[in-house]
Structure 1
Amino acid sequence: MLFTELGLSDAILRAVSDQGYTTPTPIQAQAIPAVLAGGDLLAGAQTGTGKTAGFTLPILHRLSTAIKNPNVHGTPIRTLILTPTRELAAQVEESVRQYGKYLKLTSAVIFGGVGINPQIKLLKHGVDILVATPGRLLDHMQQGTVNLNHVEILVLDEADRMLDMGFIKDIKRVLAALPKKRQNLLFSATFSDEIKTLADGLLNAPAMIEVARRNSTVEIIAQKVHPVDRDKKHPMLTHLIKTHQWSQVLVFTRTKHGANKLVEQLEKDAISAMAIHGNKSQSARTKALAEFKDGNLQVLVATDIAARGIDIDQLPHVVNYDLPNVAEDYVHRIGRTGRAGATGEAVSLVCVDEFSLLKDIEKLIKRELPREIIDGFEPDPHAKAQPIQLRSGGGGGRGQQPRAGGAGKPRSGTPGKPRSGPAPANGNVAVRSSAQHRSGGRGR
């Protein structure tokens, strides 16, 4: 199947072609016709499966071909897309602009961690498509600076992560402010009981799509475990990076403090590194992510939630400096490599404290991960396990709940065979018409 067979307009197909795509991913091949049909949709798809284009393309088609209501003046918000984190919101809005660059539609992204006044000014002018995190959207609703009375399409992207982060009350408040007659699209990596409850109350006779088997890791990712003492993890990581001449490595830590400490240690070893987590300013997170994507930064150290939305073509190496407390997060982490048909490697540095976590992961993925002891870093066979510090939160806004160590229900779901999308937008707001996009205007 080709994109040209899905019923999308020539202007959208031209933009898709500009990105170098001709063949839709499985989620796109199923979701695009379902969204174009106008009904509600419940889709099980993980980051990296191409799901963003799966809903942005048909939404752009529907909005650009629909006859506008003559009784509505100005540019009302016709589509609202809710995402759990700032990075994902920026990435989704960038995708909207990439694929809508030949259309006379405008879009904007709003999230917390940045000033609200530029966003208020932007919303006064009106946009067709608004991408937002729940917390900042509620801020605007409370101040009366956003009008949701004309929303025709609602998208809840990564709904499972939004529930994990404690956004359910915020989401319900947003839903209460929307017109009752609208199209609802819910995307989730899992179909947990909470997601099913949310879907039952939100969706009307939805089409259902699920791509990629749950809890199955991407086969083209080479996975290995390096047993090591806890105090030798940092020197081992430096050894691996320098010995193998890794040029682009995404490293996961359990806590924000651990991420900051590791960056300091790597910098002393003459390895360029930056961290992204919830305590970092939005400008710092955007800068770090941009430099990493451009290949100017060797190591990006991230906590799980802050890494949500990282979508990079041909990322060769993911390192679990700390194993996650929730086994399903391991699958989400390593799914950030091996994308778009490329090979990838996922390495886990595991100390005695984490043996039980490793067992949980191997039980989940139904395979034993190969162990490889590195010369000079042989672990002490007599070392005793110590309690693991619970993860500090990171990420996308208020209402966040810690999930580590049982403080939240485990998630299931895996990345499918992914494909990366456009880079996140820089800054706190962005709006472009087709003409602005072609001329390179920032539209601020």
Structure 2
Amino acid sequence: MSFQALLLAQELNQALAQLNFAIPTPIQMQSIPLLLAGHDLVATAQTGTGKTAAFMLPILHHLLSKPEQLGQVRVLVVTPTRELAQQVAQSAQSYGQCTSLKVACLYGGANIGPQEKALKAGVDVVVATPGRLLDHLIKGTLSLKQVSHLVFDEADRILDMGFIGEIKRVMRHLPAKRQTMLFSATIDEQVQTLVKQWLNEPKRISVDKPNSAAQKVEQVFYAVDEDRKRELMSHLIGKNNWQQVLVFTRTKNMADELAKELNKDGLATLAIHGDKSQGARDKALSQFKTGKTRVLVATDVAARGLDIVDLDYVINAELPYIAEDYVHRIGRTGRAGKTGYALSLVSIDEQWLLEEIEVVLDERLTPQWLPGYEPDLSKDPKDNRKNSNKSRKQRDKKRILNKRSTRRR
């Protein structure tokens, strides 16, 4: 099936031709007809499957069918992070390049003045993070009374990051009659609750097994002592001549420290995380995309929504505390049908985190040993496991709560 067969507006087909989009991805083929028909939708899909076009194209088609309403905010897309908001807004502008539709991107960490100016001039599509969206509603610089299409993009992350309070306040400003779409890589009880509250008899589609890792990503695990992870990482990147390597850490401090040490090893490296200004994050990402920076070290929040063309390598320097984050991390590679390579470095103290990932993926994950970097067996793994598991649930809960509080925008 071609995009032409989906019967989208001529202006959209013209833009798709200019973008060299010919064949819809599976999620696009399933979503677009349902959304054109006006149904609410719950879609489960991994990153890199083309979900932005899956909801944005039919939305723009609906907007073009009512030209008399141009210049009013009729579309609201809510995303968990600044980077994803920017990505979605840029895609909307690309798909609507042959139309007069206007898009505004609202996110924290940036001057609110230009955003207010754009809204005052009149926009059709608003893409926003919850915190900044609420700021505009409180100030009265944005009205959602005319919204006919609402999208929760990466809904699981919106909830994981503790934005449910902001979302509830935003929902009070929206009309009851609207088309609502929810896209998520994972579906859990929190997401199901949101679906029941705010969607009307939604259609459901899934193009991947729920919580599955990207199918075209080769997953490799190395058992290694914590204090030798950086050494092993530098060895593999250098020996294999890997370019454009995205490295994940759990904390901002670790991201900064690891970037500093990798630079000492001769690898051009930058770190991005929530404490970096938006300008610094944009600059780091630009240098990474253009090859000026070889390694980008990121926390989960900072990397959420990053769309890097032909990214081949992802390294988990530390396993995430939330198992589902592993799926999102490795989903940065192997996008749009391409292959990718995801390497995870696992210390003995992270064994329980690996087990949590196994449960989510329903798959056995066995770390291998790289000659010269074998774990030190003189350490007592039983004691480490015992200490690690002693109050695992309590510590995990505390870490997750701390993680959510630092993620708020």
TM-score w.r.t. structure 2 length? 0.91
How many positions carry a matched residue from both structures?
393
Q: CA RMSD in A?
A: 2.1
Query: Match of 1:92?
Result: 88
Query: Match of 2:7?
Result: 7
The one-character-per-residue Cα deviations of 1:235-280 (angstroms, maximum 9, x if unpaired) are 1111111111111101011111000000111111121111111111
Shift of 1:370: 4.6
Aligned letter for 1:18? Q
Query: Match of 1:38?
Result: 38
- The equivalences for 1:165-176 within 5 A come to 165-176=161-172
Query: Match of 1:364?
Result: 360
Shift of 1:403: 6.9
Q: Is the aligned partner of 1:139 residue 2:135?
A: yes
Counterpart selection for 1:292 from 288, 291, 294 = 288
| Separation in 2, partners of 1:140, 1:68 | 25
| Separation in 2, partners of 1:282, 1:295 | 20
**3-state SS of the aligned residue for 1:265?**
helix
Pair 1:343–1:45, CA change in 2 (3 A)? closer
Q: Is the aligned partner of 1:23 residue 2:19?
A: no
| Separation in 2, partners of 1:137, 1:12 | 28
Pair 1:364–1:39, CA change in 2 (3 A)? closer
Q: Is the aligned partner of 1:259 residue 2:255?
A: yes
Query: Match of 1:161?
Result: 157
Work out whether residues 326 and 404 of structure 1, in 8 Å CA contact, stay in contact via their aligned partners in 2. Answer: no
Aligned letter for 1:338? G
Query: Match of 1:430?
Result: none
The one-character-per-residue Cα deviations of 1:79-131 (angstroms, maximum 9, x if unpaired) are 11111100000000000011100011111101001111221122111101111
- The equivalences for 1:74-93 within 5 A come to 75-93=71-89
Shift of 1:341: 2.7
Shift of 1:67: 4.4
Q: Is the aligned partner of 1:149 residue 2:145?
A: yes
Shift of 1:190: 2.7
Query: Match of 2:228?
Result: 232
| Separation in 2, partners of 1:180, 1:342 | 40
Work out whether residues 76 and 147 of structure 1, in 8 Å CA contact, stay in contact via their aligned partners in 2. Answer: no
**3-state SS of the aligned residue for 1:340?**
coil
Aligned letter for 1:65? S
The one-character-per-residue Cα deviations of 1:352-385 (angstroms, maximum 9, x if unpaired) are 1111212222343333335332233222012243
Aligned letter for 1:225? F
Q: Which moved more, 1:247-256 or 1:294-303?
A: 294-303
| Separation in 1, partners of 2:176, 2:320 | 40
Pair 1:363–1:164, CA change in 2 (3 A)? closer
Shift of 1:406: 5.3
Greater RCO (Cα-Cα under 8 Å, separation 6 or more):
1
Pair 1:371–1:208, CA change in 2 (3 A)? closer
Work out whether residues 352 and 383 of structure 1, in 8 Å CA contact, stay in contact via their aligned partners in 2. Answer: no
**3-state SS of the aligned residue for 2:12?**
helix
Query: Match of 2:55?
Result: 55
Work out whether residues 225 and 348 of structure 2, in 8 Å CA contact, stay in contact via their aligned partners in 1. Answer: yes
**3-state SS of the aligned residue for 2:146?**
coil
Aligned letter for 2:312? P
TM-score w.r.t. structure 1 length? 0.84
The one-character-per-residue Cα deviations of 1:269-296 (angstroms, maximum 9, x if unpaired) are 1211111111111111111122222232
Aligned letter for 2:204? M
Greater per-residue helix proportion: 2
**3-state SS of the aligned residue for 2:300?**
coil
Q: Is the aligned partner of 1:199 residue 2:204?
A: no
Pair 1:315–1:33, CA change in 2 (3 A)? same
The one-character-per-residue Cα deviations of 1:303-330 (angstroms, maximum 9, x if unpaired) are 1122110122321111110011222221
| Separation in 1, partners of 2:155, 2:98 | 30
Pair 1:79–1:215, CA change in 2 (3 A)? closer
Work out whether residues 273 and 298 of structure 1, in 8 Å CA contact, stay in contact via their aligned partners in 2. Answer: yes
Q: Which moved more, 1:40-49 or 1:300-309?
A: 40-49
Unaligned runs of 5+ in 2: 389-395, 405-409
| Separation in 2, partners of 1:219, 1:52 | 19
- The equivalences for 1:262-411 within 5 A come to 262-384=258-380, 385=384, 405=399, 407=401
Work out whether residues 150 and 179 of structure 1, in 8 Å CA contact, stay in contact via their aligned partners in 2. Answer: yes
| Separation in 2, partners of 1:19, 1:284 | 29
Aligned letter for 1:316? D
**3-state SS of the aligned residue for 2:158?**
helix
Aligned letter for 1:112? G
| Separation in 2, partners of 1:276, 1:403 | 25
| Separation in 2, partners of 1:110, 1:165 | 18
| Separation in 1, partners of 2:188, 2:403 | 9
Pair 1:82–1:215, CA change in 2 (3 A)? closer
Work out whether residues 186 and 324 of structure 2, in 8 Å CA contact, stay in contact via their aligned partners in 1. Answer: no
Q: Which moved more, 1:185-194 or 1:111-120?
A: 185-194
| Separation in 1, partners of 2:146, 2:73 | 6
Shift of 1:16: 1.3
Work out whether residues 325 and 404 of structure 1, in 8 Å CA contact, stay in contact via their aligned partners in 2. Answer: no
Aligned letter for 1:335? G
Pair 1:338–1:346, CA change in 2 (3 A)? same
* Percent identical: 51
Aligned letter for 1:30? Q
Pair 1:135–1:406, CA change in 2 (3 A)? closer
Pair 1:367–1:42, CA change in 2 (3 A)? closer
Shift of 1:342: 2.2
Shift of 1:405: 4.6
Unaligned runs of 5+ in 1: 389-401, 411-444
Work out whether residues 3 and 24 of structure 1, in 8 Å CA contact, stay in contact via their aligned partners in 2. Answer: yes
* Structure 1 stretches of at least 4 aligned residues deviating more than 6 Å after TM superposition: none
**3-state SS of the aligned residue for 2:320?**
coil
